[in-house]
Structure 1
């Protein structure tokens, strides 16, 4: 057993699918599955059971996951001791909703890796702003990437204003800039009912007095371009999703009036690990706010 296997166990428990856990760890899914199987054989127990397209944690697995989190937290605290951890080494955990992961992957993570090649980064995928806040509060992540506002017990570092755009299949009779009123009656793709992102969008619709038609419900992970195309419906997402949309042959339009959210890195009011402080320094150096 090693720390890497413990990280894999925790990530799989948090994401509930091997594919999403592997993506958050930036490793291939077969490698993650193989590592989990090796650990299960070593321990003589089953940690995860197949459930549809994902996995569920077994009773034995829940105990292992709890202890693995405690062990990783202890290791993380040790690494955070500046007198024992050289700058630019150690592990950093950043919580992010799927809609903001492109901002991490395209700009922040490469910039950080360029200055601190010895550091490791784990992306903790969360359900919207509430999920990011909880991950940071519970110390499952050192930093969180989210839109503002966040509760007053967290410290925020604004990075940029991110535009919310309308992503649609080709062929729809829509202008280059779409008035909010046009969303009434429009077929849209939304996150699952009860999710934080769904609640945020429903509040947005209520604020502007529009009532779209729900054509499909997905969790905004990797398969959303195919759903937008097959359902002939539009999706509201951040501008950072535009590159993926355009590669899939979809059309990206601004809204009128433009909708923008301030994106920030957030953390609790505690002494940050050296890796987190270094990441903040890099991110704020590239800030557009």
Structure 2
């Protein structure tokens, strides 16, 4: 038995399908299935029962998953203590989405670095909220910065509400703020159909009874901005992207009524390394101020 196998067990228990667990671990699904089978043979017990397209954790498996989480948490804490003791080698890993990274780098990191000059902060760039969640679960990041909601296996520390704005090419005759009704028939670049982001936006459209014209469906953020730059569509996204959009000559407008999302620092349900605890304290103090 090794730590990698324990990570596989925890990921499989959290995702409830071998396919999704393998994707979160960046390995092939057959390799994950073999590793789980090998561990079950080694332990002489069945950890997961197959159920349709997914798996169900057995009674014995639940005990193993609990102990695996505790073991991985202990290893992570030991690593954190080691990092905290050696200032030149200390590294804090923070997962963030591209739209929230500017706020992280511009506000939170300078305040943290002022009090912790010996800690190197590595930003793990993630493609959306799901990417941040996976980075935390896979222990590729100590903390994550994302919008809510996130799965209940993560702990959240809300920091602020960030506004969703309309980013458009120049020349569109629109008021500021833009009434929601104006989105009806508007040409928009949207996230891929079926994605969490798209479902949230579709729910907003349904709430206000508007039907935009979908010009582009993709989860590639550069694709969205390129479509707006080319004058093909407008884009709904966080005000955190406004600076980047403004540099590109695009126009940023608020919506009426205003739509905001809660931005939070998130982490796994385990004791954080001391350097991560310090960052969280800095972030919460900055919010209170």
Distance in 2 between residues matched to 1:199 and 1:128, nearest whole Å: 14
Query: Cα offset for 1:88?
Result: 8.7
Q: 2:83, 2:89 within 8 Å by CA — same for their partners in 1?
A: no
Partner residue, 1:188: 188
- Alpha-carbon deviation of 1:263? 0.6
Distance 2:266 2:27 in 1: 33
Evaluate the alpha carbon distance shift between residue 58 and residue 140 of structure 1 in structure 2; reply closer, same or farther with a 3 A threshold: closer
Q: Corresponding residue for 2:117? A: 117
Cα distance in structure 2, aligned partners of 1:84 and 1:97: 26
Query: Distance in 1 between the 2:158 and 2:142 partners?
Result: 16
Q: Secondary structure at the match of 2:159?
A: strand
User: Per-residue displacement from partner, 1:213-236 (whole Å, max 9, x unpaired)?
Assistant: 111234354564332121431111
CA deviation vs aligned residue, 1:123-152 (integer Å, no higher than 9, x gap)? 223333233223222322211111122233
* CA–CA separation in structure 2 for the residues paired with 1:220 and 1:161: 24
Alignment partners' CA distance in 2, 1:123 and 1:78: 21
**Cα distance in 2 for residues equivalent to 1:211 and 1:147:** 25
Deviation at 1:257, TM superposition (A): 0.2
TM-score (norm 2): 0.68
Match of 1:40 in 2: none
Aligned equivalent of 1:153: 153
Q: For the residues of structure 2 that align with 1:179 and 1:235, how far apart are their CA atoms? A: 15
Question: After the TM superposition, which of the residue ranges 267-276 and 164-173 deviates more from structure 2?
Answer: 267-276
Whole-angstrom distance in 1 between the partners of 2:188 and 2:144: 28
Count of residues in Structure 1 that have an aligned counterpart in Structure 2: 223
Query: What secondary structure is seen at the aligned counterpart in 1 of 2:243?
Result: helix
Cα distance in 1 between the residues matched to 2:192 and 2:77 = 36
Root mean square deviation of aligned Cα: 3.0
| Other-structure match for 2:39 | none
In 2, the alpha carbon distance for the partners of 1:173 and 1:159 equals 35
Against the structure 1 CA distance between its residues 116 and 137, is the aligned structure 2 distance closer, same or farther, given a 3 Å change threshold?
same
Give the TM-score taking structure 1 as reference length.
Answer: 0.68
1:178 equivalent in alignment to 2:140 = no
User: Contact between 1:94 and 1:141, CA under 8 Å: does it hold in 2?
Assistant: yes
| Mapped contact 1:94–1:145 kept (Cα < 8 A) | yes
Distance 1:109 1:145, change over 3 A: same
* Contact 1:99/1:220 (<8 A) preserved: no
1:80-91 correspondence to structure 2 within 5 Å: 80-81=80-81, 85-86=85-86, 90-91=90-91
> Which runs of 5 or more structure 2 residues have no equivalent in the other structure?
1-25, 33-72
Separation in 2 of the partners of 1:239 and 1:256? 14
Larger deviation, residues 138-147 vs 81-90: 81-90
Answer whether contact 2:216 2:224 (CA < 8 A) is retained: no
Instruction: Tell whether the 8 Å contact from 1:167 to 1:235 is kept in structure 2 after alignment.
Output: yes
Q: Does 1:137 align with 2:125?
A: no
Distance 1:262 1:140, change over 3 A: same
The residue that corresponds to 1:28 in the other structure is none
Q: Which structure has the larger Rg over C-alpha atoms?
A: 2
Q: How does 1:198-209 map to 2 (within 5 A)?
A: 198-209=198-209
| Structure 1 equivalent of residue 59 of structure 2 | none
Counterpart in the other structure of 1:227: 227
SS at match of 1:287: helix
In 2 relative to 1, CA 116–131 (structure 1 residues): closer, same or farther, beyond 3 Å?
A: same
Match of 1:281 in 2: 281
Preserved CA contact (<8 Å) 2:87 2:118: no
Q: Any gaps of 5 or more consecutive residues in structure 1?
A: 1-56, 64-72
Distance 1:154 1:230, change over 3 A: same
